[in-house]
Amino acid sequence: MEQRLAALHAKSDRQLEAMRQHAAERAKELRPSESEEAGRTKSFLSDKLVALDRDKAEFCYQLLRAIDARRVVEIGTSYGVSTLYLAAALRDNVRGTGDAALVIGTEYEPEKAAAARNEFAKAGLSDFIHLLEGDLRETLKTVESPVDFMLVDIWIPMARPALELVAPRLRPGAIVVCDNTEAYRSAYADYFAFIDDPANGFRTMTLPFSGGLELSVYDGKDRKE
């Protein structure tokens, strides 16, 4: 699996410059309508891996091992690079125990979902992954409790809706990790409004990974139902 992950990360790295150029070009233009911008971004990202950086993915693996996670939700599976790290951690957590463990992924694009499932099979991790295909605002309604860990690495406007749907399923002590929260701080305003509200029961801090990585711990005792 290590060789396959290295190849996927290399492909993702080669796409970074095109993604930076796309963002720069959008910034120079007069502000388009919200629907126009959403359509343009969706089209551009349709063939991009948008993979979590290697060090961030390894950090998530170690967190899952540390908390002995069994149920994980990933928001934004794309081609499944980070999913492989998450599933490998669950596999290693339950090795020899007979316990069940599952990564629940989300992906809107059918082509990406198919490619991701192919990667899962090649890595021998398909049994540890259930990919929800379609609009996460609907598919996440099927997620069951308790959720030990949640990874958010998706188009930013979808970050808060996803968290709001999964939050009621988080167990006390569950961890939520969200990517690039320092680089796109203002874009994540709605996400932070939810995380920072004491009624929602989170303690959070931004870790100094490239672009920032938000680490939030859910404390169910403080959350108002």
Average of per-residue pLDDT across 65-88: 96
Give dist(CA 144, CA 8) in Å, integer.
30
Average of per-residue pLDDT across 138-156: 96
Q: Which band of pLDDT confidence, cut at 50, 70 and 90, is reported for residue 1?
A: confident
pTM over 0.85: no
Average of per-residue pLDDT across 28-54: 57
Q: Residues of the chain with pLDDT > 70: what percent?
A: 76
Give dist(CA 33, CA 30) in Å, integer.
10
Average of per-residue pLDDT across 205-215: 97
Average model confidence (pLDDT) for the chain? 86
Please determine, for residue 22, whether its predicted confidence score (pLDDT) is greater than 60.
Answer: no
| Packing angle of the helix pair 2-28, 110-123 (nearest 10 deg) | 160
Which residues, at least 6 apart from 178, have a Cβ–Cβ distance to it below 8 Å? 151, 152, 153, 159, 188, 191, 213, 214, 216
Average of per-residue pLDDT across 104-132: 96
